[in-house]
């Protein structure tokens, strides 16, 4: 009977236009607070729940609508890709952000997804902000300019601006520039943390000069106050699940930071000082403090027009990359993130009232455990560098077959192999034939599960297998490379410039696609939903909640349990 009742309810809800829910609700939320936790795999919020405090994850899990079975549907689970999926409700094949970096076929140069040379970083004309030693994807950037113009579709925040005739205040904040720019959309304003200055920065796409409150916040030099301090355990070591795994040889040991607690930040004159802050929970704490100042000074949620604030917390991603998900550092980071969320929710409750705020928390991607960790459990795994494949005997033989005496593989930029089209044209070869032959050969390599040519993706000849569908959703004809590589589970693929990170995501396997989706506040009922849902559903759900049309390429459906609020 319960099933029949639920089925009738769902059918009834499905027959009502989504906008009607916003129209019949007591009131639209004054603030939509979209929280993205970078690399928060779907099982992690509940893993340490017995040690959470009040008001953070506990509030979300006990008071909100928790979708426990949410998975991304595209194949390249990287930061910009997933963030733009959350922002647009569209797949990479439509929104265009197929990877953190890709090669421009017209220039032959590799570009960073959100770099825009038409703009500068505010106060840094023609310059380049410090390139992170831990974030090699930014190494492709040649200027400090950032903008959302490479995002090819509208975002939810753009549609909110349209629906409110530009009256909605729209902001994105993150340690990572791509975390802030993506969610702020084309109509909003974005701020991110500069690892050169320890300040929050923006670009001239948004501002010619910083508002007074931003100058005031930066003038506090809050990041500098961590000089001489360390990242230490929040609780007694005996309480931690991973208390005995604090020193493993495959973790990344940065100079002066080390692999074991405590992790010292060192002196401000150390070129890594501000970077090290972001590799700890301090990065999230700084993001929160800046977001509080933004809420106060921009007067978010203080009138009947719904405002929008996207906060992307990055420390979970950095801790996972450096130390691995199954590590003492990642565990402590989760406990500290819980406190950060509780602080944020307490602050907005005091300023605006949680009943007036619609909160949604999700993630851009999940992540695997380190290959060495899985090897200790008996799995056959390893680390791969496809940029070296051109010189292998198998590829050399293939080149000889085609009469190619030069490099055929121009580069590997995750997840794509790029071929040298000039060489292929010089020899009068058919690109599709070369792609297909090389893809077939690459699938014989250890650790490679699948190699799919772009020509095959264009042709429509491929079977409708689930993983092929994921790769097709990631394919954009003007931006994708020539061959998409998929590693076997828990094998890692590296681009040539990558530092030796402990953990790398970016595969179509379930550990990378698995993320939480939790809505809370604004009358959202307390419930756990175990049916399969997808992050592309979030943007359409938010649009329905405020009576806006869905983003231009939104592929998801509104989540009915949230709309029933």
* Model pLDDT for residues 105-121, shown as the tens digit of each residue: 888 889 999 999 999 99
Average of pLDDT values for 337-356?
Answer: 98
Average of pLDDT values for 384-396?
Answer: 94
- Residue 304 in this model has a pLDDT that exceeds 80: yes
- Residue 509 in this model has a pLDDT that exceeds 80: yes
- Residue 39 in this model has a pLDDT that exceeds 80: yes
Angle at 483 between CA 478 and CA 484, to 5 degrees: 95
Q: What is the pLDDT of residue 128?
A: 59
pLDDT digits (tens, 9 = 90+) for 232-242: 999 999 999 99
- Residue 8 in this model has a pLDDT that exceeds 60: no
Average of pLDDT values for 416-424?
Answer: 96
Average pLDDT, the chain: 92
Average of pLDDT values for 196-224?
Answer: 97
pTM: 0.93
Which stretch of 4-8, 162-166, 557-561 has the lowest confidence by average pLDDT? 4-8
- Residue 326 in this model has a pLDDT that exceeds 60: yes
**Is the pLDDT higher at 12 or at 240?**
240
Query: Per-residue confidence at 84, pLDDT binned at 50, 70, 90?
Result: very high
- Residue 372 in this model has a pLDDT that exceeds 60: yes
502 Rama sector, left if φ>0, alpha if ψ -120 to 50, beta otherwise: alpha
- Residue 130 in this model has a pLDDT that exceeds 80: no
For residue 115, the SS3 value is strand
Q: Which domains does the chain have, with CATH numbers?
A: 2-220+271-370+515-563 (3.40.720.10), 383-488 (3.30.1360.150)
Q: What is the pLDDT of residue 108?
A: 87
Query: Per-residue confidence at 6, pLDDT binned at 50, 70, 90?
Result: very low
Query: Per-residue confidence at 19, pLDDT binned at 50, 70, 90?
Result: very low
Q: Are strands 110-112 and 200-201 parallel, antiparallel or unpaired?
A: unpaired
Q: Indicate which residue of 36, 65, 79, 503 is catalytic.
A: 79
Q: What is the pLDDT of residue 138?
A: 64
- Residue 507 in this model has a pLDDT that exceeds 80: yes
First-to-final CA distance of the chain = 23
Query: Per-residue confidence at 15, pLDDT binned at 50, 70, 90?
Result: very low
Q: What is the pLDDT of residue 475?
A: 98
- Residue 421 in this model has a pLDDT that exceeds 70: yes
Average of pLDDT values for 527-532?
Answer: 97
Quick check: is 79 catalytic?
yes
Q: What is the pLDDT of residue 144?
A: 85
Query: Per-residue confidence at 22, pLDDT binned at 50, 70, 90?
Result: very low
Q: What is the pLDDT of residue 500?
A: 79
- Residue 476 in this model has a pLDDT that exceeds 70: yes
Q: Which helix (H) or strand (E) holds 409?
A: strand 409-413
- Residue 132 in this model has a pLDDT that exceeds 60: no
- Residue 414 in this model has a pLDDT that exceeds 50: yes
Q: What is the pLDDT of residue 14?
A: 44
The tokens for 320 are 């996972």
Average of pLDDT values for 206-210?
Answer: 97
In Å, the largest CA–CA distance within the chain is 72
- Residue 358 in this model has a pLDDT that exceeds 50: yes
- CA separation for the pair 508, 470 (Å, rounded): 7
Share of the chain above pLDDT 70, in %: 92
- Residue 24 in this model has a pLDDT that exceeds 60: no
- Residue 126 in this model has a pLDDT that exceeds 80: no
Share of the chain above pLDDT 90, in %: 87
The tokens for 247 are 């020193």
- CA separation for the pair 6, 560 (Å, rounded): 12
555, 85 contact by CB (below 8 A): no
Q: What is the pLDDT of residue 143?
A: 83
- CA separation for the pair 285, 517 (Å, rounded): 22
- Residue 288 in this model has a pLDDT that exceeds 70: yes
> What residues contact residue 484 under an 8 Å CB cut-off, 6+ apart?
75, 415, 416, 417, 450, 451, 452, 453, 454, 457, 471, 474, 475
Q: What is the pLDDT of residue 123?
A: 80
């Amino acid at each position: 009977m319960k099933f029949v009742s639920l089925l009738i309810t769902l059918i009834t809800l499905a027959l009502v236009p989504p906008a009607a829910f916003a129209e019949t609700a007591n009131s639209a939320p004054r603030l939509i607070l979209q929280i993205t936790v970078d690399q928060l795999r779907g099982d992690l919020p509940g893993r340490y729940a017995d040690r959470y405090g009040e008001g953070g994850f506990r509030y979300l899990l006990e008071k909100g609508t928790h979708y426990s079975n949410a998975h991304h549907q595209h194949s390249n689970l990287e930061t910009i890709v997933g963030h733009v999926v959350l922002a647009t409700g569209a797949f990479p094949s439509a929104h265009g952000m197929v990877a953190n970096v890709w090669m421009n076929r017209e220039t032959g140069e590799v570009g960073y997804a959100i770099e825009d040379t038409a703009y500068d970083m505010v106060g840094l004309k023609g310059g380049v902000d410090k390139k992170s030693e831990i974030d090699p994807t930014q190494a492709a950037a040649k200027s400090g300019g950032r903008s959302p113009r490479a995002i090819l579709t509208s975002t939810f925040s753009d549609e909110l601006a349209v629906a409110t005739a530009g009256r909605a205040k729209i902001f994105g904040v993150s340690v990572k520039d791509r975390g802030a720019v993506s969610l702020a959309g084309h109509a909003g304003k974005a701020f991110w943390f500069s690892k050169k200055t320890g300040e929050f920065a923006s670009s001239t796409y948004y501002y010619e000069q910083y508002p007074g409150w931003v100058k005031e916040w930066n003038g506090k030099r809050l990041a500098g106050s961590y000089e001489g301090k360390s990242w230490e355990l929040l609780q007694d070591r005996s309480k931690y699940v991973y208390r005995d795994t604090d020193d493993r040889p495959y973790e990344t040991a940065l100079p002066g930071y080390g692999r074991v607690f405590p992790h010292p930040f060192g002196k401000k004159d150390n070129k890594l000082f501000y970077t090290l802050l972001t590799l700890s929970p301090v990065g999230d704490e700084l993001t929160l403090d800046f977001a509080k100042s933004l809420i106060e000074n921009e007067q978010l949620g203080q009138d009947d027009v719904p405002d929008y604030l996207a906060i992307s917390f990055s420390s979970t991603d950095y801790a996972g990359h450096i130390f691995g998900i199954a590590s003492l550092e990642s565990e402590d980071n989760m406990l500290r993130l819980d406190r950060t969320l509780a602080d944020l929710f307490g602050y907005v409750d005091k300023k605006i009232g949680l009943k007036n705020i619609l909160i949604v928390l999700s993630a851009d991607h999940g992540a695997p455990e380190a290959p060495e960790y899985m090897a200790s459990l008996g799995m056959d795994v390893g680390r791969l560098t496809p940029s070296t494949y051109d010189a292998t005997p198998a590829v050399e033989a293939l080149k000889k077959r085609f009469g190619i005496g030069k490099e055929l593989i121009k580069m590997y930029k995750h997840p794509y192999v790029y071929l040298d089209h000039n060489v292929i044209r010089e020899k009068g070869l058919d690109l599709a034939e070369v792609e297909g032959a090389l893809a077939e050969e690459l699938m014989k390599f250890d650790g490679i599960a699948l190699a799919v040519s772009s020509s095959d993706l264009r042709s429509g000849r491929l079977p409708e297998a689930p993983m092929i569908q994921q790769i097709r959703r990631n394919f954009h004809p003007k931006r994708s490379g020539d061959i998409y590589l998929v590693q076997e589970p828990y094998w890692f693929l590296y681009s040539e410039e990558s530092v030796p990170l402990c953990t790398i995501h970016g595969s179509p396997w379930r550990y990378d696609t698995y993320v939480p989706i939790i809505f809370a506040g604004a009358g959202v009922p307390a419930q756990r939903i175990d049916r399969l849902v997808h992050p592309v559903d979030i943007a359409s759900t938010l649009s329905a909640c405020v009576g806006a049309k869905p983003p231009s390429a939104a592929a998801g459906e509104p989540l009915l349990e949230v709309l029933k609020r």
